[in-house]
A = this chain, B = another copy of it.
Amino acid sequence: MSPLTRRLLVIGADAAGMSAASQARRRQSPDRLEIVAFDRGNFASYSACGIPFYVGGQVDDLESLVVRTPDVFRDKYSIQVHLGHEAVEVDLDKGAVLVDDRVNARRRWEGFDDLMVATGATPVRPSLPGVDSAGVFGVQTLDDGVALRSYVRAQKPTRAVIVGGGYIGLEMAEALCALGVETHLVDVADQPMNTLDPDMGALVAGALEEFGTVLHLGQEVVRFETGAGGRVAGVVTAEDTIPAELVVLGLGIRPNSALAESAGIRIGPSGAVAVDRRMRTSHEAVWAAGDCAEKRHRVSDRPVAVALGTHANKEGRVAGINLGGGYATFPGVIGTAVTKVGPLEVARTGLGELEAAQAGFVADGVVSESTTRAGYYPGAASIVTKLLHERETGRLLGAQIVGGPGSAKRIDVFAAALWNEMTVADIAGMDLSYAPPFSPTLDPVTITARKAAQA
């Protein structure tokens, strides 16, 4: 390699890191830019969001969750991916990363000209007694998913407790119920899905119970009981002890920003690595993207940490274009999310009531119920839509949807409306598609926006 060759070192070989690497490669040939990626796990470039479905068995083939293998990156993109290699220290003055090669059990310094930090996030583990018992799982990496599925198959637990009723918690509850495991869900809040307003979250509770989840709401976990062989035996709350041979933590995730922080890179108020619009950190040669990187919320105008593959992909691409000598910016997020709870579809975008108040908005909420298709058309299902708008201006601030098949993707219309700072009156006037198999004469989006405009 010529001495003019620059070296891009990527920490974390999943969506953000490998999108960045691929984009940089598109713009710079191997003789101009060497690209090396390290990941502490055993997989590169996979769909973490598919893990609950892999555990539940809807998706049976582990390989299908892997978008590209290290071989493909090497052969097609001339990108070297080293799995089982953990970056343990960054020295910005030296321009080098200390890498712990677990495969060969040795450490070495790897130099870089540019550094891409894509270290992801880790499930929150509360520091409670017994949390380190065997059988207590967090679910974030594909390795976590493999470990959990193996445990379920080998230990055949008859009772499981999910701690936390967020996206991962709900998806895992469904997966475990489908496997015939008696599944309990504990949440400190009075409703699952605290990313929804309580009235919308209440609709989700029923769906969880319908496929057999036993809910323990408004209960805080105080410790985990450990049984024979150091294995978890139960979850103890202030009110109750729930026996369990398997515990899944669904308490959210925390950005893996410690490595960057200890190198002196600025961490934002959200706890994630602070970046500018081009995804550059406080150090000129260091870039960050994905779950470890902070995002700007376009509605609240606040920095947030959100772990989602779709953001990781987009941010990684932006970083990679810039690393390759191009120009791109990441426009921020608005908190759009979607999940499935049995047959119930759940989606949200923008701000909820509490978030809106915290951001200083005075807002009004409106809820309406409609059907996913014309009422007379076979398969029409109920859809409940909630909109939050600024009282003074009518500007949309957020939307939440809970309903039957065909409901959830309507959230993207509200996402587009939020993106363009539309008022609810303007949304009600939009020309949305109508035919009996797809919506009532007025789409639920229109109906709810009209109701909000009249409120």
The reply on A309 being an interface residue by CB < 8 A is yes
Which segment, of A111-119, A152-160, A246-254, A417-425, faces chain B? A417-425
Closest to A427 in B: B416
Q: Tell me, yes or no, whether A338 is within 8 Å of chain B by CB.
A: yes
CB atoms of B420 and A313 under 8 A apart: no
Q: Does A93 contact B (CB under 8 A)?
A: no
If A15-B441, A412-B410, A412-B413 touch, whether A349 touches B431 (CB-CB below 8 Å) is yes
**How near does chain B come to A194, taking the closest CB pair, in angstroms?**
17
Q: Which of these, B313, B419, B436, contacts A430 with CB under 8 Å?
A: B419
- CB proximity of A261 to chain B, nearest CB, Å: 27
Say if the beta carbon of A303 comes within 8 Å of chain B: no
Most buried by B among A313, A376, A419: A376
Give A340-357 as 1s and 0s: 1 = Cβ < 8 Å from B's Cβ atoms.
100001010100000000
User: Could you tell me if A310 and B349 are in contact, using CB atoms closer than 8 angstroms?
Assistant: no
A179 within 8 A of B: no
Q: Which residues of A contact B (CB under 8 A)?
A: 15, 47, 49-50, 53, 58-59, 61, 64-65, 167, 298, 308-311, 313-314, 330-340, 345, 347, 349, 374-378, 406, 408-413, 415-417, 419-420, 422, 426, 429-439, 441-443, 445-446
Q: Specify how many copies of this chain sit in the oligomer.
A: 2
- Check B419 against A431 for contact (C-beta < 8 Å): yes
Residues B430 and A415 in contact, CB atoms below 8 Å apart? yes
Query: Would you call A338 and B53 a contact (CB within 8 A)?
Result: no
Which of chain B's residues has its CB closest to A419's CB?
B430
10 A-B residue pairings within 8 Å (CB atoms): A50-B374, A50-B376, A53-B376, A53-B437, A65-B376, A167-B435, A310-B431, A345-B438, A412-B412, A419-B430
